Amino acid sequence: MNDALDGDSTVATTPTLAADTSASVFVRSGIDEVSISRLRRLVAEHGSSFRERVFTAAERRYCEGTRYPGQHYAARWAAKEAFLKVLDATAPSFPPPTDRIGVVRTEDGPRLALEDDADVAFAETLAAANASDPGRCDVSVSLTHDREADVAAACVVVVGLTDGGGDGGGDEDGNEDQDQDEDGYEDGERNENGGRVA
Say what the pLDDT of residue 182 is. Answer: 44
67-76, 119-128, 162-171: which is most confident: 67-76
pTM of this prediction? 0.73
What is the chain's mean pLDDT, rounded?
Answer: 77
DSSP state of 132: P
Do 129 and 88 touch, CB atoms closer than 8 A?
yes
Q: Is residue 2 pLDDT above 80, yes or no?
A: no
| CA angle centred on 101, ends 11 and 113, rounded to 5° | 10
pLDDT tens string 172-189: 333 333 333 343 323 333
